Amino acid sequence: MRVTPALRPAALSLASAVVLALGVSGCAAFSDDTASEGSGGSGDGLTVATAFYPLAYVTQRIGGEDVAVENLTQPGQEPHDLELTVGETAEISAADLVVYLRDFQPAVDEAVEQNAAGATLDAGEVVGLEPFADEDHADEHADQHADEHGDEHVGEEPADEPVAATPSEEEGHHEGDGHDHEGDLDPHFWLDPDRMADLGDAVADQLSEIDPERAATYAENADALRADLDDLDDALTDGLSSCERETIVVSHDAFGYLSKYGVEVAPVAGLTPDAEPTVSVLADLQALIREDGITTVFSERLASPAFTESLAEDTGITTAVLDPIEGLTDETSGEDYLSLMRENLEALQKANGCG
């Protein structure tokens, strides 16, 4: 339950980051005591770097008190297209294990490839990603994704200097981005509790390999996590089994994995939360809202609600929050994955008239 207290700030000076990066190679081969030398003195336990909140949540549940989890996406930060600070790159170097999602955050992929000295776990390989619901949408995402690169991260300065990239590297990186989104796989697997439980088992296996002495604890924690997630899955199945409407209008296309509960998703933006919707997308959504009698346009906490608010206003319906749980914010600092999913369930029931 307590992910946040165990997270350590990513504020490392350039000097200490370089020292760390140089000093850690090989540490990951040893467990416990040796590993902590390279990770900045976090005590006896292992250090795991996780790419964004749902991965941090699972890892903290499995690792418990003995594992220090460092989340590379800070609270309030939007994980799509995260840029890493020098300190965060050093955390990837120093970690005994990195848990990430390939093709979701290019900067993390790159840092894992170039800097990870310990074990790595690609969540996508474990859980099996599903394609986006329809191909046209997926193409749109890629386009929008490429378009909105220019003006991103305004007012979201990282605490440290971003890792330096030459202009040409930077350019090539961005250009490739819109087109190699692994085609059309939907990264937002964490909205499916079953897949979160599978990830929990995989994290337990990895931690047990690195730290066999605590294998029984990791396995127990994975079972406890799975039990909680099974309860959540049951609640979602029951709670959404008889609804007046199936379709939800949401800010960005993060909720496709709710289709197992009969929920159909119509996104205002595409893959990333701040992508600007086209006029024709908005017109289609307005028609859909009228035809289906949709009551609510859902926005999210980490993204600007401007598009969703104007759509709701134009169609005379209400707005509410549906949280894609890509990260915590100040507003949700006392919450966790499970409580946010329960709130999502309530919001869905209310919007879609579920009995």
Residues forming contacts to Zn ion in the complex (CB under 5 A) are 254
Q: Distance between CA 146 and CA 166 in Å, rounded?
A: 20
Report in angstroms how near the CB of residue 18 gets to Zn ion at its nearest: 33
**Nearest CB to Zn ion, comparing residues 323 and 336:** 323
N-term to C-term CA, the chain: 30
**Nearest CB to Zn ion, comparing residues 68 and 99:** 99
Report in angstroms how near the CB of residue 10 gets to Zn ion at its nearest: 21
Q: Determine the 3-state secondary structure of 24 from DSSP.
A: coil
Amino acid at 2: R
**Nearest CB to Zn ion, comparing residues 222 and 275:** 275
**Nearest CB to Zn ion, comparing residues 38 and 327:** 327
Token readout for 124 is 């996508």
**Nearest CB to Zn ion, comparing residues 51 and 222:** 51
Report in angstroms how near the CB of residue 269 gets to Zn ion at its nearest: 10
Give the closest residue to 252 by CA, choosing from 238, 270, 231: 270
Helix (H) or strand (E) holding 87: helix 86-94
Report in angstroms how near the CB of residue 57 gets to Zn ion at its nearest: 16
Whole-Å CA distances, 258 to 19, 193, 271, 311: 45, 10, 16, 23
Q: Any idea what DSSP says for residue 213?
A: G
**Nearest CB to Zn ion, comparing residues 53 and 218:** 53
**Nearest CB to Zn ion, comparing residues 254 and 311:** 254
Q: Distance between CA 162 and CA 294 in Å, rounded?
A: 43
- Helices 53-63 and 337-352 meet at what angle, rounded to 10? 130
Report in angstroms how near the CB of residue 181 gets to Zn ion at its nearest: 12
Are 303 and 152 in contact by the 8 Å Cβ rule? The answer is no
Report in angstroms how near the CB of residue 291 gets to Zn ion at its nearest: 27
Task: Tell me the residue length of the chain.
Answer: 355
Whole-Å CA distances, 31 to 35, 100, 150, 198: 6, 21, 43, 24
**Nearest CB to Zn ion, comparing residues 218 and 298:** 298
Are 121 and 100 in contact by the 8 Å Cβ rule? The answer is yes
Report in angstroms how near the CB of residue 229 gets to Zn ion at its nearest: 20
Token readout for 203 is 């994290």
Cβ-closest position to Zn ion: 254
**Nearest CB to Zn ion, comparing residues 218 and 255:** 255
Q: Determine the 3-state secondary structure of 325 from DSSP.
A: coil
Report in angstroms how near the CB of residue 78 gets to Zn ion at its nearest: 8
Report in angstroms how near the CB of residue 215 gets to Zn ion at its nearest: 34
Strand order, beta sheet including 119-122: 67-71, 46-50, 97-100, 119-122
